Amino acid sequence: MKKTNILWSIVVIFAIILAFSPITILFLLSLNDSPALPLKNFPTTKWYEALFQFPGAMESIVNSLMVAGVTTLVAVVLGICGGYALVRTRFVGKSFFTGLLLMPMVVPYIIMGISLLSFLLRLGMEPSLITIIIGHILLAIPYATLVLTSRFIGFNISLEEAAMDLGADRLTTFRKITLPLIMPGIITAAILSFIISWEDVAMAVLLAGSQQTAPVFMFSLVTKLPKFVPILTAMSTIMFAFAIVLAILMRKAERFSIS
Amino acid sequence: MNPREKEASQSPKTKKIELRGILLVVPTYLWLIVTFLIPVISVLMLSFAELHPVTKNIVSFPTMNNYLTLFTNLDYVVVLLRTLLLTVAVTISSVGLAYAVAYFITFKILKNKYTILLAFQAPYIASYMMVLLAWRLLLGRSGVINSLLMSMGLTSGPIELLGYNAFSVWLVLTATWFPWLILPIFVSLEKIDRSLLEASQDLGASPFTTFLKVTFPLSLPGVFVAILFVFIPTIGEFVAPAVVGGTTGLMFGNLIYDFFLKGFRWDIGSAFAVCLLCIVILAVLVLFRKIGFEKLMESL
């Protein structure tokens, strides 16, 4: 019995190290004099100062926020429409639609990315933030729609009927009854869509022009200009902090809307 | 047919409802068709065409030349085989590790199971790029791990295995993916009726036999979902190899990337992409057959 316990501890500790140590060390190194051990002149904020002066760095974070914001908005609206239609209505080609909806989830990003890229270039579009947004909406639609579909399934339709029996028109019913009831689903779909866009490297790298999102900026700097990597440690720490704040805020909003 | 659909079909306003449904899905439908279906089909067509390198006009169609380029060039075949090998290796190691952790959380931990589950997802609030950057600094001939080992006097020179190579790609992808796979495996382990395990033990089976004959087969739905989760992104991976792969760790995705964004040979790149897509479809079909689509969707 003792022996198996020791074995288990080793496996789990190994897993914890594998999952947590890279980010912890990255954080420490962002406060270090050089991106290597041993710690020297620790802690220093010089990489954070350098980051704010580095051309394109802050701009790319703003771009990321914009791309993720637009992606979230469009994906959630399409998700509400799609989820409502899938649960409440019958239409021709429903199973084809469901299959098409799930397909982007099982096709590797590189294939979707280069397909979309060659298609958009052929249409005469230049790679820009807009092409990235188009790609990100494609990535987010299946998740947003599925989340909202499950919300509509768990929805008591008689509440809507009661409102309409009491004289509310369709729009008022939607605004006062339907929307509040599916709010938790909307928030979950929004979080998912935002995170999908915020974290995506692969699709954005393929579709980016001269305007870059933050992960694309990091990718091009890592592979092309390795001597600026320390600046990226500061940048990713800031983005990590932002993501945590966002996660907590949305968690709160989710709780608030349920109660 | 679920009850709500039945309701809709029985309603006298069926016709109107159908129109409403179509109107509501049209935007999503169009988006999926225009940005996904048509582009993928055009890549499929492109893979059988020969394009003028500059003007991108179709020179000849149909032709198998693009596929011949792939399978007659030994360099490309080597990269394809390496990619398959790496993908299988990453799938086995990450699913295995995730299984161990999920098993541990399900059966060995009594309190706060869900907090521990959540904790394992926490580092991945960080973006994928951040994790890759961290590994880029950790690995490498003069990276953090190697310099630490040398300063401690454990090795005299840098360990080549921890440089930027295929091994590093395997290590990094395993470390990045396994936390995501814990949840689906945990769910299917948690669902298992505990009395089955007791029955097996009462009938004299050793804990290991119980695991092999009862627990593991019952947890297979979660395992298949996990395999799907890791296999698809890994086989198309090109970001991690570019960051920690060096020159010997490049994968098939990097070839496709180069053909489209550096070499501007869309026709050859398309053939490569179609090959990759065929492998993915094959893998998905095999997994679906093994377990059945319904069950797979259930455990998602």
Rounded CA-CA distance A191/B74 in Å is: 45
**Is residue B222 packed enough to be buried (19+ CB in 10 Å), middle (13-18) or exposed (0-12)?**
buried
Question: pLDDT digit string (tens) for B108-123?
Answer: 877 888 888 888 877 6
> A103 and B36 in contact by Cβ < 8 A?
yes
Whether residue A122 is found in the same domain as residue A177: yes
B191 or B297: which leads in pLDDT: B191
- Put simply, whether B287 touches A (Cβ < 8 Å) is no
pLDDT, position B61: 78
Interface of A with B in 158-197 (CB under 8 A): none
Give, rounded to a whole angstrom, the gap between the first and last alpha carbons of chain B: 20
Chain A residues closer than 8 Å to B178 by CB:
15, 18-19
Rounded CA-CA distance A235/A243 in Å is: 12
Q: Which residue has the tokens 């492998």?
A: B279
Q: Which residue of A has its CA nearest to B179?
A: A19
**A102 closest CA partner among B139, B15, B300:** B300
Provide, for chain B, the percentages of residues in helix, strand and coil under a 3-state DSSP scheme, each rounded to the nearest 5: 75, 0, 20
**Residue A55 is part of a domain; what is its CATH number?**
1.10.3720.10
Task: Locate the domains of chain B by residue range.
Answer: 73-299
Contacts across the A-B interface (CB distance below 8 Å): 255
Helix (H, G, I), strand (E, B) or coil at A116: helix
pLDDT, position A2: 65
Rounded CA-CA distance B126/A244 in Å is: 8
- Is residue B78 scored above 60 in pLDDT? yes
How many angstroms separate the CA of residue B244 from the nearest CA in chain A? 9
Question: pLDDT digit string (tens) for B174-209?
Answer: 999 999 899 999 999 988 888 888 888 888 888 888
- Is residue B9 scored above 50 in pLDDT? no
- Is residue B28 scored above 80 in pLDDT? yes
- Count of residues in chain A: 259
pLDDT, position A1: 53
pLDDT, position B293: 61
CB–CB of A108/B228 below 8 Å?
A: no
Whether residue A104 is found in the same domain as residue A19: no
Q: Which string of b and e fits A97-124 if b means at least 16 CB within 10 Å? A: beebbeebeebbbbbbbbbbbbbbeeee
- HEC string of B180-223 equals HHHHHHHHHHHHCCHHHHHHHHHCCCCHHHHHHHHHHHHCHHHH
Average pLDDT for chain B: 85
Query: Which residues, at least 6 apart from B300, have a Cβ–Cβ distance to it below 8 Å?
Result: B184, B225
Q: To probe the interface with B, which of A76, A115, A245 has the most B CB atoms within 10 Å?
A: A115
- Is residue B83 scored above 50 in pLDDT? yes
> A111 and B43 in contact by Cβ < 8 A?
yes
For the residues A74-86, what does the mean pLDDT come to?
92
Q: Which residue has the tokens 């869900």?
A: B114
> B235 and A243 in contact by Cβ < 8 A?
no
Confidence band (pLDDT; 50, 70, 90) for A101? very high
For the residues B21-41, what does the mean pLDDT come to?
91
The CA-based diameter of chain A, rounded to the nearest angstrom, is 73
CB-nearest partner of A90 from B9, B37, B138 = B9
Whether residue A83 is found in the same domain as residue A175: yes
Confidence band (pLDDT; 50, 70, 90) for A116? very high
Rounded CA-CA distance B204/B195 in Å is: 14
Question: Residue A215's domain spans which residues?
Answer: 51-258
Average pLDDT for chain A: 87
Interface of A with B in 96-155 (CB under 8 A): 97, 100-101, 103-104, 106-112, 114-119, 122, 134-135, 137-138, 141, 145, 153
Confidence band (pLDDT; 50, 70, 90) for B10? very low
Q: To probe the interface with B, which of A87, A92, A111, A195 has the most B CB atoms within 10 Å?
A: A111
- Is residue B6 scored above 80 in pLDDT? no
Confidence band (pLDDT; 50, 70, 90) for B1? very low
> B127 and A106 in contact by Cβ < 8 A?
no
DSSP annotation of B142: T
For the residues A241-249, what does the mean pLDDT come to?
80
Confidence band (pLDDT; 50, 70, 90) for B8? very low
**B133 closest CA partner among A16, A55, A246, A226:** A226
Chain A residues closer than 8 Å to B237 by CB:
108, 110
- Is residue B12 scored above 50 in pLDDT? no
- Put simply, whether B282 touches A (Cβ < 8 Å) is no
Domain B73-299's class? mainly alpha
Of the listed ranges A63-77, A135-149, B280-294, the least confidently predicted one is B280-294
Whether residue A75 is found in the same domain as residue A37: no
Rounded CA-CA distance A138/B28 in Å is: 9
- Is residue B97 scored above 90 in pLDDT? yes
pLDDT, position B299: 53
List strand residue ranges (DSSP E) for A21-119, in order. Answer: none
Chain B residues closer than 8 Å to A248 by CB:
none
Confidence band (pLDDT; 50, 70, 90) for B39? very high
Whether residue A3 is found in the same domain as residue A78: no
Angstrom CA distances, B217 to A41, B197, B269, stand at 55, 12, 41
**Is residue B2 packed enough to be buried (19+ CB in 10 Å), middle (13-18) or exposed (0-12)?**
exposed
Confidence band (pLDDT; 50, 70, 90) for A113? very high
Rounded CA-CA distance A221/B2 in Å is: 52
Rounded CA-CA distance B277/B258 in Å is: 17
Q: Which string of b and e fits B83-105 if b means at least 16 CB within 10 Å? A: beebbebbbebbbbbbbbbbbbb
Domain boundary among A44, A59, A77: A44
For the residues A130-141, what does the mean pLDDT come to?
96
The total number of structural domains that make up chain A: 2
Q: Which residue of B has its CA nearest to A245?
A: B125
Interface of B with A in 119-138 (CB under 8 A): 120, 123, 125-138
DSSP annotation of B15: H
Question: pLDDT digit string (tens) for A1-57?
Answer: 567 778 888 888 899 888 888 888 888 888 887 766 667 777 778 888 888 888 888
Query: Which residues, at least 6 apart from B285, have a Cβ–Cβ distance to it below 8 Å?
Result: none
For the residues A126-141, what does the mean pLDDT come to?
95
For the residues B70-91, what does the mean pLDDT come to?
93
Question: pLDDT digit string (tens) for A197-207?
Answer: 998 999 999 99
pLDDT, position B296: 59
Question: With pLDDT > 90 as the criterion, what percentage of chain A qualifies?
Answer: 33
Whether residue A17 is found in the same domain as residue A122: no
CB–CB of A37/B138 below 8 Å?
A: no
Whether residue A36 is found in the same domain as residue A55: no
- Put simply, whether A198 touches B (Cβ < 8 Å) is yes
pLDDT, position B64: 86
pLDDT, position B298: 58
Q: Which two tokens stand for residue B87?
A: 């993908």
- Put simply, whether B170 touches A (Cβ < 8 Å) is no
- Put simply, whether A75 touches B (Cβ < 8 Å) is no
Rounded CA-CA distance B22/B29 in Å is: 9
CB–CB of A85/B24 below 8 Å?
A: yes
How many angstroms separate the CA of residue A246 from the nearest CA in chain B? 10
- Is residue A76 scored above 80 in pLDDT? yes
Number of other residues whose CB lies within 10 A of the CB of residue B65: 15
**A190 closest CA partner among A89, A77, A109, A113:** A77
How many angstroms separate the CA of residue A166 from the nearest CA in chain B? 20
Rounded CA-CA distance B58/B62 in Å is: 10
Query: Which residues, at least 6 apart from A141, have a Cβ–Cβ distance to it below 8 Å?
Result: A75, A78, A79, A82, A101, A104, B28, B31, B32
Q: Which residue of A has its CA nearest to B239?
A: A202
> B147 and A36 in contact by Cβ < 8 A?
yes
CB-nearest partner of A107 from B228, B261, B280 = B280
Whether residue A17 is found in the same domain as residue A141: no
Q: Which residue of A has its CA nearest to B271?
A: A111
Question: pLDDT digit string (tens) for B202-237?
Answer: 888 888 888 888 889 889 888 998 998 999 999 999
CA atoms within 13 A on the CB side of A107: 26
List strand residue ranges (DSSP E) for chain A, in order. Answer: none
Confidence band (pLDDT; 50, 70, 90) for A89? confident
Question: pLDDT digit string (tens) for A160-195?
Answer: 888 888 888 888 888 888 888 888 889 889 988 998
pLDDT, position A258: 57
